[in-house]
A and B are shown apart, each in its own frame.
Chain A
Amino acid sequence: MSDEKIFDEMWGRDEQLRDPYANFQSWFDGEDPARLRAKQREADDLFRLTGITFNVYGRQEAEERLIPFDIVPRVIAQREWQKLSRGIEQRVRAINAFLNDIYGRQEIIKAGRLPQEMIAKNAAFLPQMIGVHPPGGVYTHIVGIDLVRTDDNEFYVLEDNARTPSGVSYMLENRETMLHMFPELFAKNNVLPVSTYPADLRRSLAACAPPACDGPPTVAVLTPGIYNSAYFEHSFLADQMGAELVEGHDLRVVDGRVAMRTTRGYQPIDVLYRRVDDDFLDPLNFNPDSQLGVPGIMDVYRAGGITIANAPGSGIADDKAIYSYMPEIVEFYTGERPLLQNVPTWRCSDKESLQYVLDNLADLVVKEVHGSGGYGMLIGPTASKKEIAEFRKKLEARPGNYIAQPTLSLSTVPIFTNKGLSPRHVDLRPFVLVSPEGINITPGGLTRVALKKGSLVVNSSQGGGTKDTWVLED
Chain B
Amino acid sequence: MLGKTANGLYWMFRSLERAENTSRLIETGQRIGLTRSGNMEWGSVMQTAGVAEGYAAHRGEIAQDQAIDWMLRDTDNPSSVLSSIASARQNARMVRTALTTDVWEATNAAYMRSKELLARKVPERDLPNTLKLIRQRTALVRGATHGTMLRNDIYDFARIGTFLERADNTARILDVKYYVLLPSVFAVGSTIDNVQWETILRSVSASGGYRMAYGNQVNARDIAKFLILDKRMPRSLNFCVSKLRDNLGYLASDYDTTLPSHEIADKLAQRLSLHDIDEIFEYGLHEYIQTILASIGELGAQIEQDYRFYV
> Chain A: interface residue count, which band?
20 to 34
| A235–B93 CB distance below 8 A | yes
| B1–A49 CB distance below 8 A | no
| B2–A260 CB distance below 8 A | yes
Interface flag for B209 (CB, 8 Å): no
**Chain B, Cβ-Cβ closest to A264:** B255
Which label, helix, strand, loop or mixed, suits the secondary structure of the A interface? mixed
**Chain B, Cβ-Cβ closest to A251:** B2
Residues of A within 8 A of B93 (CB): 51, 226, 231, 235
Q: Which residues from 286 to 311 on chain B have a C-beta closer than 8 Å to any C-beta of chain A? A: 307-308, 311
| B112–A48 CB distance below 8 A | yes
**Chain A, Cβ-Cβ closest to B92:** A51
Interface flag for A65 (CB, 8 Å): no
Cross-interface CB contact of B4 among A231, A261, A265, cutoff 8 Å: A261
| A263–B97 CB distance below 8 A | no
| A247–B4 CB distance below 8 A | yes
| A235–B2 CB distance below 8 A | no
Residues of A within 8 A of B4 (CB): 247, 249-250, 261
* Chain B: interface residue total (CB-CB under 8 A): 22
Residues of B within 8 A of A372 (CB): none
| A226–B90 CB distance below 8 A | yes
Interface flag for B109 (CB, 8 Å): yes
Interface flag for A153 (CB, 8 Å): no
Residues of B within 8 A of A249 (CB): 4
CA distance A250 to B90 in the complex (A): 18
Q: Which residues from 80 to 106 on chain B have a C-beta closer than 8 Å to any C-beta of chain A? A: 90, 93-94, 96-97, 104-105
CB distance from B257 to the nearest CB of A (A): 7
Which label, helix, strand, loop or mixed, suits the secondary structure of the B interface? helix
Interface flag for B22 (CB, 8 Å): no
Residue of B1, B2, B93, B257 with most chain A CB atoms under a 10 A cut-off: B2
Q: Which segment of A238-246, A332-340, A358-366, A400-408 sits at the interface?
A: A238-246
Q: Which residues from 183 to 204 on chain B have a C-beta closer than 8 Å to any C-beta of chain A? A: none
- From known contacts A49-B105, A244-B97, A263-B308, infer whether A250 and B112 are also in contact, taking CB-CB under 8 Å: no
CB distance from B65 to the nearest CB of A (A): 26
Q: Mark B257-280, 1 if CB is under 8 A from A, else 0.
A: 100000000000000000000000
Interface flag for A50 (CB, 8 Å): yes
| A244–B2 CB distance below 8 A | yes
Interface flag for A262 (CB, 8 Å): yes
Residue of B96, B105, B307 with most chain A CB atoms under a 10 A cut-off: B96
* Residues of B bordering A, CB below 8 Å: 1-6, 90, 93-94, 96-97, 104-105, 108-109, 112, 153, 255, 257, 307-308, 311
* Residues of A bordering B, CB below 8 Å: 48-51, 226, 231, 235-236, 238-239, 243-247, 249-250, 260-265
29 contacts between A and B (CB under 8 A): A49-B105, A49-B108, A49-B109, A50-B108, A51-B93, A51-B108, A226-B94, A231-B93, A235-B97, A236-B96, A239-B97, A243-B97, A244-B2, A244-B97, A245-B96, A247-B4, A249-B4, A261-B2, A261-B308, A261-B311, A262-B1, A262-B2, A262-B3, A263-B1, A263-B3, A263-B6, A263-B153, A263-B307, A264-B255
